[in-house]
Amino acid sequence: MQQIKNGGLEVEAAMKQLQHLPFEDLGYARIDHHRSLRSGMPEVIFCPGKSEPQILEIFGSLLKSGVNIIATRAEHSTFEAIIQVYPEAKYHQPARIITLEQNQIERRGLVVVVTAGTADVPVAEEAAITAEMLGNKVERIYDTGVAGIHRLFACRELLDTARVIIAVAGMEGALPSVIGGLVRTAVIAVPTSIGYGASFGGVAALLAMLNSCANGIGVVNIDNGFGAACLASRINRIGSLEDEAK
């Protein structure tokens, strides 16, 4: 709001203009172009609950606005529909993300993505691909469970150079606690729905992470690799924001 240069406009009118400008109304969706312009971030389409034609239309609308695009939780069939129209789009298996990079992304600041097991990789990849699209450098360390903790220690050096660490784990979700005790930087914990029985679709891991004895861990929703990458990106760019502000 404070960015509006207000001349002779009355409040009432300014408010109206303000309200109508920053989004495009497709009927079923109101695309917030403003956010993207404001933040330099790509626009994101969360695919579940949207029909294929809807996704295509939003995709097209975003493309016209000139930004880079991420579509998360995308079925491969959705990608096949998009590739017909936008052949530059890419599909990232197993992250289930479609990306289209119109403007080259400069990557700064290291985000390290760690998983406890192999089955956590799809969520980790959602985080990694998203973080890269949001302008972060990304390194991956996969399958380092706490029951074989020496596998994690082998990567100690890489962990120490990270600005942000995203720790992805299902089952008992102990990985972020162990990492949080090893490093001094911010740790983002992503519980995954990997497990069975009393893992309750990731609830066991979620609770373990919220109760971590290693203080200073921020937790996101179960399987929310995307959200973890967004938070990592918000953290990573704190310095840059201040530089811009100067």
Binding status of residue 10 toward its own copies by CB under 8 A: yes
Binding status of residue 53 toward its own copies by CB under 8 A: no
CB 84 to its own copies: min, Å: 22
CB 42 to its own copies: min, Å: 12
For 123, the 3-state DSSP assignment is helix
How many residues lie near its own copies (CB under 8 A)?
110
What is the footprint of its own copies within residues 189-208 (CB under 8 A)? Answer: 191, 193-208
**β 186-191/164-169 pair status:** parallel
Binding status of residue 144 toward its own copies by CB under 8 A: yes
Binding status of residue 60 toward its own copies by CB under 8 A: no
Among 48, 76, 114, 137, contact with its own copies (rule: CB under 8 A): 48
Binding status of residue 158 toward its own copies by CB under 8 A: no
Q: How far is CA 3 from CA 6, 7, 18, 38, 169, in A?
A: 9, 12, 10, 10, 41
Binding status of residue 107 toward its own copies by CB under 8 A: no
Binding status of residue 211 toward its own copies by CB under 8 A: yes
Among 101, 137, 139, 142, contact with its own copies (rule: CB under 8 A): 142
Binding status of residue 151 toward its own copies by CB under 8 A: yes
81: left (phi over 0), alpha (psi -120 to 50) or beta: alpha
CB 144 to its own copies: min, Å: 6
CB 123 to its own copies: min, Å: 10
Q: Comparing C-alpha atoms, which of 23, 91, 33, 26 is closest to residue 54?
A: 26
CB 29 to its own copies: min, Å: 5
Q: Comparing C-alpha atoms, which of 54, 45, 121, 124 is closest to residue 89?
A: 45
The total number of residues shown for the chain amounts to 246
Structure token digits, residue 101: 């990079």
Q: How far is CA 178 from CA 114, 155, 161, 203, in A?
A: 12, 13, 17, 19
Q: By CB under 8 A, which span of 74-82, 84-92, 100-108, 140-148 interacts with its own copies?
A: 140-148
Q: By CB under 8 A, which span of 9-17, 59-67, 80-88, 97-105 interacts with its own copies?
A: 9-17
8 A C-beta contact, residue 151 and residue 145: yes
Binding status of residue 42 toward its own copies by CB under 8 A: no
Other C-beta atoms lying within 10 Å of the C-beta of residue 110: 17
Site string for its own copies, 77-96 (x = CB under 8 A): --------------------
Determine if the peptide bond prior to 94 is cis (ω within 30°). Answer: yes
Binding status of residue 117 toward its own copies by CB under 8 A: yes
